[in-house]
Structure 1
Amino acid sequence: MCKKIVLLLVLATVLSPMGMAQEQAQNIDVIVMVDITWSLYESFQDIEQYLLGTLLNEVLHPGDTFHLIRFSDHTQVEITEVNLGSQTISSIRGKIAGLKNLRWQYGHYTDLLGAVGYLVKFTEERPASNKKVVILVTDGIHDPAPGTPVPENALALKEAFLKQAEQFKRPGWELHILRIPGKAPDSGAGTTQGSEETPFFEAFNKDFQNSVTDYTADKDRELLAQTAGLVQVIFPENVGEVGKEFDIPVKIANNSDIDVTLRLEKAISAGSDILISPGEIRVNRKSTADFAVPVRLPDSIAEGPGSLDVRLEASGAERILSLEGKIGLVYVPGKPYGLPLWFKSLPVFILIGLALIALLLLLFFFLRSRGISFSPLKLFRPGGAGKDYSFKTKQKYLYANGHHSYAIEMIVGMQNRQIGLRNVHRIPKNKSLIVGGGRSSFLIFLVPVPGNMAAIGYDGNKFTFTPRKREFFPELKGPISNCLGKKIIVKSKKGYVFDLTFEHYISPLDKINAIFHAVKSKTASGS
């Protein structure tokens, strides 16, 4: 039943690193208040397993305290003032095991206002030396028993809850609320509540919105992490085929309110450390990051399908959820690791430098293929940074030389020409540039057309247009020699007809200079 699962989850949240400090170990007082209006007895074995297992043995540390409070129409403290230490664990287990003999009787009414008031007072009475982590599990319904003093209306009830919310905003206090869907008891008493906001959540969402988590039945571990604001390590279920060395791709979910830097120190499997090299990752608050854990399979792993049990050891956070995982895999001896270890161990700045060099080389060949002369070395020459070595076709590169034609422009009928120098190129001698859509040098974007539908070449003397996909050029029977200034008809697959023309490109600067020369010549002749 829903209530059973929710109780299990909430008590399990105590095992998480709630609001942990990143570097400084700090004792905490964990105070769990659970709305137990309906049956809990059937789920006690699950709760007992969490309390006696993960919580006491793995998460809570000596010096921490644990308090469990239940409420319905009244409030009752079940466990309190438990100072965790090696000598008190056995007595704690006895107290928890004895609870199942109480056969808790849960009523049909819920005095939520009284319970929250009691929770504030109870937390205030704890010693101030420890951090306070308060977990409240409720459906937000306030439905007290007859005769209980209540505010006169919903607005007054909300104001009362607002005042209580203000009391939780204290240094060293963290409030986490797990919202569960309310449901009336089978007897018909009480109130039904679906996903609608109650006065309680209207009040507490104002200041504690990030601390309210909705119950989701199929995401137990994620719900734990979100509810308690903890850091969680999420292992993959299966990594497929791997060699002797491989990376385990884990996710680090930081649900806390602070940035966390985790330092991975060991990966234990079959009693041995299988971690190839330590690593470190910084995860911002309320975010998730991918992290590759490099490991070497232990000799006990046989060839073929199998699994790997691994336990990570990390520092940088006092409490982390799910440091242990079971990963399915298929061991294939001799399968390469992927990137070599020497490459993975390179400092980040070297990897960035290599990536930049590769990018510059790609740009160099890309621009040269389009008739644009650019040398990356010019960027590193003395005084080079002050010159115009941008990645665009410059004025001096519009003219012909021994290796390139002068610049030509492709003009497409009805297509916008205000696209800079995108369709202006010089063509290397005895080379061709592609015409069409996609990544073509001379781009047609007026209508969808394929790339490499045609080419225009330069032999050092003349330009030749060659259709490569004849179905788009219904009027052409072959290449067009001396194609500049000739209108070429194109027909798209959907029957749209347009024309394109190649012209000698004259830059605006050259046009202005021509006008000035004409004016100067006319003035001179007139004088």
Structure 2
Amino acid sequence: MKKKLLVLTIMFISVCMQNLIAQESERQPADIIVMMDTSGTILPYYDAINKRVLNEISSKFIRSGDTFHLISFNASARHELTQKITTETDISRLVSRFMLLYQLGQNSDMLTAMDFAKDYTQNLSTDNKEKILIIISDGIFNPPNESRYKSYNNEQVKNKIDTIASNLRNENWKVYYVKLPFPDNVIIKNLDNEVIQNISETVSTDANNINSGGTGNSGANNAKTDSSGKNNSETTNSKNGSSGTNNTGGDTNTGNTESADNNGSNDETKKEYTDISGDVTNSVGTDTSDLSNNPDEDFNIKDDKNNLPILVFPNELIAKGKNLKLPLQIKNSGNSDTELTLTDIVIEENGVTHSIDIQDKTITIPVGEEKDLLANIKLPEGFNNKNSDVLLRLVFADNKATMPQTAKLPLSIQPTVLQKFFANEYSWLYILLIILLVLLLLFLLFFLLKRRTSRPISRAIKTVSDTPDHTGSLARNKAEEAKARMALLNSTTQKKQPGFSPADPFAKIEVKRNQSGMTEIYVFNQTRSIGKRNIHVMKPGTRMSVGGGASDSFRIFLVNFPSNIAEVRYDGSNYNLSILKPEYFPYATSNTVNNCIGKTITIVSDKGYHVGFTFREYEDPISRLNKVLTSIEYT
């Protein structure tokens, strides 16, 4: 181990010193943070990290005057080292601490590590310094049970990644990602539940090729299983050139409970892990620098993409009921035109996430220009009548990213007019009044329609029953009727005094025949366009009033008369008119007009107006029409 450490230290110092001499004045000092994954799934790549990755970091980033920070993480995050680079001793101390990091952790909680790194960067005095963050991990997210992120669903994990990435970008940190290979014989899915590695697709790892030199992982514990089914551990020395894996019957066991459980046999239990490397690199705006299994292949860390479109969220969100308009402003800070298609918006509130589909909103932004994008959102259930802070994350087609892509905003939900109405304590009273008004309007409409539809039938019956007349005769008759009516209204003849007493209003009606009849009053010169107001069915032994009052059964309204001036009495055979107020019947000779059907009766008003009327037996027009139609004989 000491020999190996010495060789690697000499190599690393040699590379670093060349950079210190050749490029000392090329750029200003930088803060360089390396966030190193020390979980068991990357144990086979221990030597590759210390040789190929560390050499690339030293040649590309470390300069004299830089400050190097080392953070390790597995189940939790830990600050390992802060070292300012000025001499060879500083470099030796850095390499020694880096090589003492063994990948033996059972879990890998990258979210906790990113959170730790975010807080750590905020405490650094980085004025006038370049800021570089390098993440070295296979991307597997497997937090321990005690982690607060253990209960997060996939959407919450995405929201957290975007939030941390936005914070790092706002602080002008350049982020690089060294992507290590996945472990063998496990299923890997991304946060969209898409399988990106299946067991049948994995290839057994050749540790000698990966670690390029045959040196093993000194001090690494390799699990072996005895015949009793119990787990034993033994320390493997690096002298025999092993890679730190124990190969038995072709199965690879890294000794890490994160990827394998021994159950008394040499077969490895197949497990399923979640990869978040793609979401991390997409959110921070960089590409993964993949470490190849081939030791002869050059390894280069790809440059940071610092030209993501800049997105501006509104200061607050105001929704009307469940309808929310989200205005966005996007600036293209890249070197070419950018096309963005907004497909989904993820809203998180109090730990509950909702993914809302958006009718695809596509916008093309030329270089250096800004454009507005308006998204219409239909809020899901649970967002009614309350104000809260929500976390918004935008999802674009083809996994395109913006800076930032997540924002925490206050959401204010205002009720609609209808919601305000029902929130009123008197709303039930208003609803009742509206219902009554609607019923009244329907009743009036029905009444008017009934009157209008009854007129054509009456006119048709009259046309069938009456003798045809010339147009000129009809005009003359109408003129004569109008003249007679005016003469009647202008008449002021003095009323005669009657010579009899009123009829007894309580007199008993003797029934002669048990047969009902229908009759109507016909008042000369009084309009008949009142429907069946003055038409009634009378049963034997009944009486109905005659007068000018609204309560009278047979109403005279041509001129003013009091109510109940007379009454019609029906005995089942004849209709008799009994006079109750003789002063209005000056021409009558007695208080009873027997069998009044067809007889003309004259009454005089208080102002001396003469009005004549008679009673007719009424036959329903439909019945009359049926009689006419059935009376035709066909030969």
TM-score by length of 1: 0.33
Find the structure with the greater CA-based Rg. Answer: 2
TM-score by length of 2: 0.28
